[in-house]
Structures are given as C-alpha cells and as structure tokens.
Structure 1
Amino acid sequence: MKIAVFDCCDFEVNTLKDIQQKNNDEIVIFNESFTLDSIEKVKNFDGISILGYSKVNSFLLDQMKEYKIYHLSTRTIGYDHIDVAYAKSIGIHVYHAYYEPNNVADFTLMLMLILLRKAKISICRSLVNDFSLDGLQGRELRSLTVGVIGTGKIGKTVIHNLSGFGCRILAYDPYENEDVKQYVSYVNLDTLYAQSDIITLHIPLNEKNYHMINKETIHKMKKGVILINTARGQLINTKDLIQALEDEYIAGAGIDTLEEENGVMHEHIGVKIIDNRDLLYLKQFPNVVYTQHYAFYTQEACESMIRCGISSLQNKSKLCEI
C-alpha cells in the first residue's frame, strides 16, 4: 500500500520514521497541507493521512475519487475539517484517530482548579513581586456542582477524576453512560445550566450544537458560572461569551479552543499583525485562561494518534471508520 502523509509536524517526525522503517508499505511524508494542488503529487497513492490543517471539501474529495484514492485518515480525534457525509456518498472511507482520554480530561480539571483558585492573577502578580492577597480568595470543588455535557470517553474520564473531589456532578448526554451513573445525576440541559457552578463541554461539533453556548443559554445559567471548553471552539459563540464576561455574568472561562483560530493556533505570531480581535480581547481578561488548543498534546496521545492514523489506512479499520 502507498500512503501519503500530509501536514507533518515536527513532533510527528520520529514516530513516522519509525513506522516507515518497520513497515513494508510505502509511506511518503509531505510537509504541506493536502490541497487541490498537492493531490497532483499523489495520483498513484492508495491512502492519504492528514491533520486538521487540511480542509477536505467536496472538490478535493471528487479529485480523490477521480484518482481512485478511496481511503482518507485524519490523525486527530475530531473530523469537522472533512466533509464526511459527502465522502461517504461517493464511496470514500474516512477514519479518525484514537487516544486514551486522560490527556484532555486531566487538562480540563487543571483549568477548573486554575480558575477556582485565580492562579492566573496570582502568577502574573508574582512576576512583578506583588504578593498581596486582594481578590485572590477562591472556591473549593467539594462545595460546588459541576455540569458535564457529553459523557463519552473524555467526559466519562472527567467524571471519574471529579468524583474524588467530592463535588456534586450533573451530566447531559442523549445516550446515557452506565459506567458513570454511580457518580452523576443525568438531567436535561436546562437543569444542568441552572444548577451548575462549573460547566464543561465534551461533545463533538455538529450542525445541531453549533453555538450551543450563546446569549440565550448563558442566561439560563447561574450568575457566576465558570465555563470550560476543551472540545470544539464553535460550540461557543465567542462574542456572546465576551459580553457575558464584560457583564460579569460569567465568573471565568477556560478556553483551549476558539471558533476563529485558523492562522493563529499552533503558530508563533510574534510581531505579526493579526486581525482576530476576539481572540486578542478574550485572552486579556484576568478570569480567562486561554491556551493554544493543546489539551491533547502529550507524548502518549501524539504517538497514539500518529500510529492510529497510519494503521487505520493499512488495515481499513472498521473501529476507526467514521
């Protein structure tokens, strides 16, 4: 089998080289995104692997079909950068990667604790030798109610982690998970919004939940709620989140992914001028912890995603097929 690997990042190189050396299949690495221009280089390949930097639309999929490339994998969990429905309609198989959920679950809990204990303010003060306590009084998880939206692999692990802190846990998911029922009370979304002191999102993005956190749903929440998003940026309407922070309706936000992050995320911007005003404004709030979409970024998870992205093509894995 001949596989083209696009979007190769520095952290992937060693693992990909190891795969190349230990496989009989031909694996060719490209340090560029998969586009209509680059597909001309892989006319005779059997499968293509990408990251989220490549946006695979119907035009690119049509070209794949014309060149009889019927297998596409993304070395990511999420796959909203691929028009999966169209791919299926023209007979192209799409696979996504897998990793154990501990990385994102641990990161989620870290964001909760940083916001509850106002650690961002404390760290910034200490850098200028300000060791005062004014405004730093925090809260303890055991006294709070946490609402978990989505109880799949990551949401379930977040719940297991939270269970040790003694907090009350509410959960919402159309498909209830028997593994967590001993720790949570399943409720509808309105109840979760109304009763939770912290709300954390762990669901894939789709047309139905785009901007599910917006002006209307925010005002169903408790005043003083903390929001955590380590899932997909488009789940939250950024402008409505900013307004709620300005109004001091939301007490804090832990944001690892933002809806308008293309061209910024995973890049060293330095002194370049960027036009993403919402991003620049959002990160300046003292009660917002904004990170560069790296909740997934552990040694263990990266290796798992890379190997899964290649092996799913080699084995035409039904377990990884979307």
Structure 2
Amino acid sequence: MKLIAYNCRSDERVYFEKFAKQYGVDLTLTREAPTAETVSAAEGCPCISIITTPMTRELLQMYYDVGVRFISTRSIGYDHIDRKAAQEIGMRIGNVSYAPESVADYTIMLALMATRKIKKIVLRSEAQDFSLAGVRGTELHNLTVGIIGTGRIGGVVAQRFAAFGCRVIAYDLHQNDSLKGFVEYVPLPRLFAESDLITLHMPATKENYHIINAEAIAAMKDGVYLINTARGSLIDTQALMDGVESGKIGGAALDVIENESGLYYNNLKNEILTNRERAVLKSYPNVIVLPHTAFYTDQAVSDMVKHSMESCLLFTEGKKNPWQIV
C-alpha cells in the first residue's frame, strides 16, 4: 500500500518508519498540511493520514479526484472533517484510538490544579507573595464528581476519581456496565445540580454543541469546577466567562477551547493571536488554559500512528475496520 502522512511531526517520524517497515507500507512523510496546493502529492495513494486540518467539501473532492478513497485522522475527534460531504462524495473516513490513560491522567492533574488553586499559588510565588489568603484548596475526596461521557477515556477517569474517594455520578446515552459498581448514572439536570466538579469526555457533535451553556451553568452548584479535555465546542465560551466573572464557576481547567484550529502546535510567540476569548480566559486567576496536550504521551503517539496505518491497511484490504466512521 502507498500512503502519505500529512502534518508529520518529528516525534511521529520514528513510529511511522517503524510501522511502515513492519507492515510493508510505501510511505511518504510530509510536514505540509493537506491543501489544494499539496493534493498532488497524494496521487497514487488510496489512503492519506492527517491530523486536525479542516477537511471541507472542496478539499475532500480534490483528494477524491486524485484517487484517494480513505482518510484516516490521527485523532479520536473528527469534527474537523465534513462527514456529510464525505458520505456524498464517496470518501471513507476513519479516526484512531489510543491509550485512554493519557487523557485520563491529564484530567486528574487538571482537577487537582483547579481545586488546589495552583495557578494563583504559582503566580503569587513568582512575585514572592507567599500569603495564604485566597489560595485555600479543596480535597477531592469531599467532592461529587460529574462525568459527562463514559466511553474509553471517561471510564478510566471515573476509576481515577473513585480511587480518590470521590462520589462519582455520570451521564451518557450509552451506559458503561463495567462502571456501575462505583458510578451512579443520573439524568443530565441532576448531574448539573449535584456535582461539585464536572468533567467532559465526549466527541463534538451537532447534538452536544454547547452542552455547557448559560442555562446549564445556572443549574449548577455555586462554585462548581469545570474540566474540559475533550472538545472546545462543548462549552459556550461566553457563558463560561460570564459564569467565572459572576462567581458561579469557582474554577476551570481547559485543555481545549472553541476556535482553536490553526492555533495550537505552532510557535506563535511573536504573532498577534485572533482568539480573543482565549486571552480573556487566560486573564482569570482561577482559569487554566492549556494547548490541547492531554493526549500527548509516547504511548499515545505510537498508538495514533500505528492505528492510522492499520486502519488504512484494513480499508485497502476490504476488511472490517473498527476505526471507520464514514
């Protein structure tokens, strides 16, 4: 099989080369993104591997026209791909899976940072302000944690919080039977009303767009903590900012934000950023904003490359593909 991997980072290269040799893949690696200017590089490739470049109808059609029939995104999320257009064009789409512990551990880290008010402590320490006023934390075992989405990642997150002694409640359209010994599934309004800390673990879809909005925040406990390591579009940013400024939200830790496409994974230290909401969120002493790195471990990167390549091979061989979504 001939395969081109776009947006190949230097840390991915060793894994691409390893698995290409293992599977006998004729591999081309490029740092370039899949665009109208780079589409010709995919000629002769039935499949391409991408990361999070937006794949519009026009771009999907261009790749289809040069012979590409399957696109594998090296990510769990696939909201950057126009799936409706792909279906109509005849382009097949796949995502990947990776060790859920990477995001789960990061989620716990963010929860601890938020509830122990680490941002305030670090900022004060840098200015040699070692006073205690305003930095008293909360212990996890005293909290009711609400988990929205209990798939592979959310399930491990539930286990982690239960190990801390938290009461864990959850909402998911498809309940995870393996969690029912220590997780109580509840309706979403009840989760909002009872949770001291809420963490999100679901893909971005039209149905759950802004699942955390002004109405949802109003239904939450005063001083609630919000953690998001899933997708930025799950939270209405303006409603979040209003909640922080009113004191309704006691703290937030965000690995993802709305409109982050084209922002992260680039060195932009001398650039003017156009995401004003990010600047406002970062200005709050009780809000942590990190650059979508919850997934980023050696195991996860290896898994993403391996599964992307395996997914392409399964497609070309006409075999059942557990990662195919369109």
- TM class, shorter-chain normalised? over 0.9
Match of 1:321 among 309, 320, 324: 324
Aligned to 2:180: 181
Q: Identify if the C-alpha distance between structure 1 residues 23 and 164 changes in structure 2 by more than 3 Å, giving closer, same or farther.
A: closer
State the alpha-carbon separation in 2 of the partners of residues 220 and 181 from structure 1. 25
State the alpha-carbon separation in 2 of the partners of residues 236 and 176 from structure 1. 22
Aligned to 1:35: 35
| Bigger shift: residues 37-46 or 239-248 | 37-46
What aligned pairs does 1:1-322 form with structure 2 within 5 A after superposition?
1-52=1-52, 54-316=53-315, 318-322=321-325
TM-aligned CA deviation for residue 209 of structure 1: 0.8
TM-aligned CA deviation for residue 241 of structure 1: 0.6
Give 3-state SS (helix, strand or coil) of 1:76's partner. Answer: coil
Give 3-state SS (helix, strand or coil) of 2:14's partner. Answer: helix
State the alpha-carbon separation in 1 of the partners of residues 234 and 83 from structure 2. 19
8 Å contact 2:42–2:63 — kept in the other structure?
no
State the alpha-carbon separation in 2 of the partners of residues 315 and 174 from structure 1. 29
TM-aligned CA deviation for residue 72 of structure 1: 1.1
TM-aligned CA deviation for residue 264 of structure 1: 2.1
State the alpha-carbon separation in 2 of the partners of residues 216 and 104 from structure 1. 28
Letter of the 1:320 partner, please give it.
Answer: W
TM-aligned CA deviation for residue 18 of structure 1: 2.3
TM-aligned CA deviation for residue 258 of structure 1: 0.4
Give 3-state SS (helix, strand or coil) of 1:300's partner. Answer: helix
State the alpha-carbon separation in 2 of the partners of residues 7 and 89 from structure 1. 26
Give the superposed CA RMSD.
1.3
Give 3-state SS (helix, strand or coil) of 2:121's partner. Answer: helix
TM-aligned CA deviation for residue 151 of structure 1: 0.7
Letter of the 2:216 partner, please give it.
Answer: T
Letter of the 1:104 partner, please give it.
Answer: V
Cα deviations across residues 123-144 of structure 1 (Å, max 9, x unaligned)? 2222232222111111111111
State the alpha-carbon separation in 1 of the partners of residues 92 and 254 from structure 2. 32
Give 3-state SS (helix, strand or coil) of 1:242's partner. Answer: helix
TM-aligned CA deviation for residue 34 of structure 1: 0.6
- Percent same amino acid at aligned positions? 39
TM-aligned CA deviation for residue 229 of structure 1: 0.4
State the alpha-carbon separation in 2 of the partners of residues 83 and 268 from structure 1. 27
Gaps of 5+ in 2: none
Cα deviations across residues 282-320 of structure 1 (Å, max 9, x unaligned)? 012111111110000011101110111112101225111
Letter of the 1:101 partner, please give it.
Answer: P
Gaps of 5+ in 1: none
TM-aligned CA deviation for residue 263 of structure 1: 3.0
Give 3-state SS (helix, strand or coil) of 1:283's partner. Answer: helix
State the alpha-carbon separation in 2 of the partners of residues 99 and 12 from structure 1. 14
| Bigger shift: residues 174-183 or 13-22 | 13-22
State the alpha-carbon separation in 2 of the partners of residues 315 and 197 from structure 1. 44
Give 3-state SS (helix, strand or coil) of 2:122's partner. Answer: helix
TM-aligned CA deviation for residue 268 of structure 1: 2.0
State the alpha-carbon separation in 2 of the partners of residues 205 and 263 from structure 1. 17
TM-aligned CA deviation for residue 23 of structure 1: 4.0
Cα deviations across residues 27-56 of structure 1 (Å, max 9, x unaligned)? 11121111122112222211111000x211
TM-aligned CA deviation for residue 119 of structure 1: 1.3
Letter of the 2:178 partner, please give it.
Answer: D
| Bigger shift: residues 15-24 or 145-154 | 15-24
